[in-house]
Amino acid sequence: MSASDRGLSVALRRTLGLALLLAFWEWGARAGVIDPFYAPAPSTVAGTLFALFQGGTLYPHIAATFSAALLGLGAGLLIGGLLGFTAALIRPLADLLEPFMMLLNAVPRVILAPLFVIWFGIDLGSKVALSLVLVAVLVFFAVYNGIRDVDRRLVERVLTLGGGRLAVLREVYLPSVTAWVMGSLRVAVGFAFTGAVVGEFVASSRGLGYLLSFAQSTYNAAQTLALILIVMAFVLLLFWLGGWLERRLLRWRHP
């Protein structure tokens, strides 16, 4: 059996496991073993999902959540990255920032959501802010540690081969940091969506989080599950993109 055959059979078994669970669930809901009020049959959820997309009213909500998450992710990567970079290279700045960042890292940052609503209103701003804070703190530590962890020997290699400061930055620091950031990118994507959706729970007039909290208030389990599936699908898509990027950028690691 070749490696690709084995990979195929693993994928097959996993799919089979999922299919079995769904089949059991479907049977249970129909036979009355599982209460459909709490756990509606997969076919019901699929129907709800279909209806959500068909109406066309869903798209503005997806767009709202998506833009909040992506803006938060982009800005968080940028701000967290820049802060981490400068803090690692400029000692006094690190002393200034570290306690603040430690505190932000220690508390569950979603507790800032109500404050952001007061500061930035119920529109996009507060969601982006929450997303940003969640991501930025994570990326700050990734970059900070990445730079602190740079192999001194590599720096000396570049210097003795005639490279200057810029060469050290480009040849040693950036690639080291990239490896660290790629390692936390998946978590960052998850955080970005957490920020956006939680922000929408707290106060909003659209977005998937808004729809979710609406579905919950009407005890609509089918719609809740359908919306969860949508969010999961997007996050998985981004994971896949991130994985692709990681394989490309860190090819040297697993050649």
Partner 1 sequence: MSARLQVLPQPEPAPRAPEALGERLLAVRGLTLRYGRNPPAVEEVEFAVAAGELVSLVGPSGCGKSTILRAIAGLHRPERGTVELGVARRALGFLFQDDALLPWRTARDNVALGLRFAGMSRREARAEAEAWLARLGLAGLGGRYPAQLSGGQRKRVALAQVLALRPRLLLMDEPFAALDAIVRQQVTQELLRWVEREGIAVVLVTHDLEEAIALADRVLLLGQGPRARIQARHPVDIPRPRDLVAVRGHPAFAPLYRRLWRDLSRAMGREETP
Residues contributing to the site for partner 1 (CB under 8 A): 151, 153-154, 156-164, 167, 171-172, 175, 250-253, 255
Helix (H, G, I), strand (E, B) or coil at 190: helix
Q: Could you tell me the smallest distance in angstroms from the CB atom of residue 183 to partner 1?
A: 14
Q: Rounded to the nearest whole angstrom, what is the least distance from the CB of residue 166 to partner 1 in the complex?
A: 10
How far is it, in rounded angstroms, from Cα 223 to Cα 209?
Answer: 12
**Which of residues 91 and 251 has its CB atom nearest to partner 1 in the complex?**
251
Residue 79 vs 250, nearer CB to partner 1:
250
- CA 241 remoteness from chain centre: 12
Tell me the closest approach of the beta carbon of residue 82 to partner 1, in angstroms.
Answer: 22
Query: Is the Cβ of residue 47 or residue 175 nearer to partner 1 in the bound state?
Result: 175
CB of 170 to partner 1, least distance (A): 11
User: How is residue 154 written in tokens?
Assistant: 């590599």
Cβ-count burial 245-255 (b if 16+ within 10 Å, e if not): ebeeeeeeeee
**Distinct helix (H) and strand (E) counts, the chain:** 11, 0
CA distance 192 to 45: 26
In the complex with partner 1, the residue whose CB is nearer, 21 or 167, is 167
Residue with tokens 């404050």: 115
